[in-house]
Amino acid sequence: MATLELHGLVKRFGGVTVVDGIDLTIPDGAFVCLLGPSGCGKTTLLRLIAGFVAPDAGEIAVGGKRVSAPGSVVPPERRGMSMIFQSYALWPHMTVEQNVGYGLRVRNLPADEVRRRVATICAATQLEPLMKRYPSELSGGQQQRVALARALVVEPQTLLLDEPLSNLDANLREEMRFEIRRLHDEFRYTTVYVTHDQSEAMATADLIVVLNAGRIEQAGTAEDIYRRPSSAFVARFVGGANVLPGRLAGLATPFSIRLEDIELVAAPGAGAAGAVRGTVVRRVFLGSSRDYVVEADGELVRVTTPPHVDVQPGEPVWLGFPPERCHPIESVPAGGS
């Protein structure tokens, strides 16, 4: 069992608290993404799980056994974990086959066993035709596959990934996020994946943990977090949303609404009842959609429409806010919609 439990986890660097009282349970075999902006503490949290740094408070347990606490840290090599970094870290003088088998050789496994396991994992990661090549002869996506194969061949209980696709171009990132999920479904190891890319998190994870300033803002499925954000930060960070003032049961309250859920029409009376008049401030063509900023009642509102909706900046529009798409939230930090 590789159930991962974090209890009251705290890490400080100097006077700055980077991880601030994290409580989280990751079930055995789950795929969890730690999602958040730069500086939110996600990579430090991953390094705490790996055993590279010690907590200042709290503890980490794997399979019910404590592996980290202040002054007591089980070393990384004894945790049954593999970690993949942003920079693949392949040995340039070794072939793909040698790189993948490196972890097995340092464990002094018999040569026949090493060859068998390397062949099996290279087949699973579609590296068989490349086994005799060196890293300099591989594309970025191929190098990423080698890093994955090397991490998986040692049969870890837990796989840790620190923004592993950040060095790839957009098309390769999309391809590799599905490949990572496919391999997880095949091998069912517990996976903790750090990213700032919402699309990566939503495409791969069973559970998304949104971090902000060292704390968990919200944890849930992709649909939970997207459709039912618990805070203004989550609403804005995951997928993009407007956070606007409104009224609920006669009381003033902020609410969030996704950019694509707002109705934008160029003719009065053509949209939903109660539509608000506004003026287009900005219009951007994005191929499959248009992105607008509209000034309405003193608020700047972002709206995403199909590409055929084409209104020039300065022209009037009417915005409809379907009540079933307006989600009340508790508070609005400074910063606007």
> Residue 194, CB half-sphere, CA atoms under 13 Å: how many?
24
pTM: 0.86
Query: Of 219, 211, 168, whose CA–CA distance to 27 is shortest?
Result: 219
- The per-residue DSSP string of 211-247 comes to EETTEEEEEE-HHHHHHS-SSHHHHHHSS-EEEEEEE
249 pLDDT exceeds 70?
no
Q: How far apart are CA 329 and CA 229, in angstroms?
A: 7
Average pLDDT over residues 175-200: 91
Tell me, what DSSP letter sits at residue 256? Answer: E
pLDDT of residue 312: 95
| 3-class DSSP state of 321 | coil
CATH fold match for the domains 4-232 and 240-328 = no
Give the confidence band of 170 by pLDDT, cuts at 50, 70, 90. confident
Q: Would you state the structure tokens that stand for residue 80, as one six-digit string?
A: 């049954």
Q: Give the CA dihedral 26, 27, 33, 37, nearest 10 degrees.
A: -20
pLDDT of residue 176: 86
Give the confidence band of 303 by pLDDT, cuts at 50, 70, 90. very high
334 pLDDT exceeds 60?
no
Q: How far apart are CA 161 and CA 139, in angstroms?
A: 20
Tell me, what DSSP letter sits at residue 275? Answer: P
Percent of the chain with pLDDT over 90: 71
pLDDT of residue 336: 41
Tell me, what DSSP letter sits at residue 297? Answer: T
pLDDT tens-place string over residues 106-127: 899 999 999 999 999 999 888 9
Cβ proximity of 47 and 76 under 8 Å? no
Tell me, what DSSP letter sits at residue 109? Answer: -
pLDDT of residue 245: 86
Query: Of 282, 276, 234, 261, whose CA–CA distance to 326 is shortest?
Result: 261
Cβ proximity of 191 and 34 under 8 Å? no
335 pLDDT exceeds 60?
no
Q: How far apart are CA 124 and CA 37, in angstroms?
A: 33
Q: Would you state the structure tokens that stand for residue 19, as one six-digit string?
A: 């991880």
Give the confidence band of 273 by pLDDT, cuts at 50, 70, 90. low
Check: CATH 3.20.20.450 for 240-328? no
Comparing 102-111, 223-232, 296-305, 322-331, the range with the smallest average pLDDT is: 322-331
pLDDT of residue 269: 61
Average pLDDT over residues 118-138: 93
Q: How far apart are CA 264 and CA 305, in angstroms?
A: 7
Q: How far apart are CA 286 and CA 293, in angstroms?
A: 14
Cβ proximity of 19 and 48 under 8 Å? yes
Q: How far apart are CA 304 and CA 262, in angstroms?
A: 8
pLDDT of residue 332: 42
Q: How far apart are CA 320 and CA 127, in angstroms?
A: 52
Q: pLDDT averaged over the chain?
A: 90
Give residue limits of the domains in the chain.
4-232, 240-328
163 pLDDT exceeds 70?
yes
pLDDT tens-place string over residues 9-31: 999 999 899 999 999 999 999 99
pLDDT of residue 223: 94
Q: Would you state the structure tokens that stand for residue 25, as one six-digit string?
A: 């349970």
pLDDT of residue 271: 58
248 pLDDT exceeds 80?
no
Check: CATH 3.40.50.620 for 4-232? no
CB 268: neighbour CB atoms within 10 A? 11
32 pLDDT exceeds 60?
yes
Query: Of 112, 191, 206, whose CA–CA distance to 151 is shortest?
Result: 191
pLDDT tens-place string over residues 99-108: 999 999 989 9
